[in-house]
Amino acid sequence: MARRPRLFAPGLLYHVIVRGNQKQKTFLTDKDYQTYVDVLAKYRRKFDVTVHAYCLMPNHVHLLVQSSGEPLARFMQGLQQSYTQYFNRMHKKVGHLFQGRYKAIVCEKDEYLLTLIRYIHLNPVRAKLVREAKDCLWSGHGGYLKGKVNEVLDPREGLKLLGGSRNYQKFVSEGKEEGHREEYYEVEDQRFLGKEGFGEKLRKGAREEALRPVTKPLAQVIKELATASATKMEEVCGPDRGRKISQRRLIISYVLVRKAGYKVKDVAKSLGRDPTTLSVLMARLGERMSLESEIQEEVDRLSRIVNK
């Protein structure tokens, strides 16, 4: 069965669950945890996402995030890709770190904001990794106790509803005996958590994120990107293997495949390149992006052109 496209509208509340591929650990050292938090902060700022709660477990991640004007997919793609590149480089691994498609459940905010904040921050306690939520270094619980916005977390709305940090602490303590809540995972249409009819009502005011956001002919998009890169289309599709043109050609290829959803074989054919070689080069470019900000900025700039 084809997977359903995600629903998007500014201001939606999502419970995001990302699991390690084949249940493998996604964090091996304290530096790994800290790096994920740092990357989360970076992409939260970039896409103006509000993080109401988060918790990093040894082999999975819980996020409670509220979208802004950008689809959640763009935020998650940057976050997951950037951390995977770091992890594979640091631990000399290759391939996928996270399991397939992350789960993003649209939640009825008035009904579930507070209970999900508590549920997420109590994850390490339920898993018996710590005795108290405050003992976990890699969740948003400490931010609620301090009552201050930080680089990752914005606890203001939750604390306002509860009446401050002291009441939040009491609220969390009252939920310590709560076990796993399957209803937070097995939800209507696998996408909605809310009262009856919530999903249907939401569909009327939201749009679905297209799996392939670009529908224009490939040749047309290549020409647009070549022009935006101050390069002629004949050069991008030509035999020149000079360093400068090769770099521009590779970045354009990366945007077409990784950001716009065109197939590698189609892009390679249009550019007169071998598909396997192009795939390898794009993987290397992805690794370089986390180290060379100018490449990331150029990819982001061209991606905006593609997704207009």
> 147 pLDDT band (50/70/90 cuts)?
very high
Topology alike, domains 7-208 and 218-306: no
Integer Cα distance of 224 and 64 in angstroms: 37
Q: What is the pTM of this model?
A: 0.64
Give the pLDDT confidence score for residue 72 in this predicted structure. 86
> Could you tell me which residue, 288 or 205, shows the higher pLDDT?
288
Q: Which fold has domain 218-306?
A: Chromosomal Replication Initiator Protein Dnaa; Chain: A; (1.10.1750)
Q: What local confidence, expressed as pLDDT, does residue 215 receive? A: 63
Confidence tier at 1 by pLDDT (50, 70, 90): very low
CA 80 to chain centre: 5
Q: Whose CA is closest to 175, among 122, 109, 228, 96?
A: 122
Pick the range with the lowest mean pLDDT from 114-123, 250-259, 291-300: 291-300
The pLDDT, as a whole number, for residue 160 is 92
Chain segment 118-130, per-residue pLDDT in tens: 999 999 999 999 9
CATH superfamily of 7-208: Transposase IS200-like (3.30.70.1290)
Tally of CB atoms within 10 A around 50 = 17
Q: Per-residue pLDDT averaged across 70-91, rounded?
A: 90
pLDDT tens string 28-51: 999 999 999 999 999 999 888 999
Average pLDDT over residues 95-109: 82
Pairing type for strands 207-208 and 7-8 reads: antiparallel
Which long-range contacts link 202-206 to residues 24+ away (Cβ below 8 Å)?
202/7, 202/9, 202/12, 202/106, 203/7, 205/9, 206/7, 206/8, 206/9, 206/12
The interaxial angle of helices 293-306 and 275-289, nearest 10 deg, is 120
pLDDT band for 283, please (50, 70, 90 cuts): confident
pLDDT recorded at residue 280: 75
Section 60-87 average pLDDT: 90
More confident residue, 289 or 88: 88
Domain ranges of the chain: 7-208, 218-306
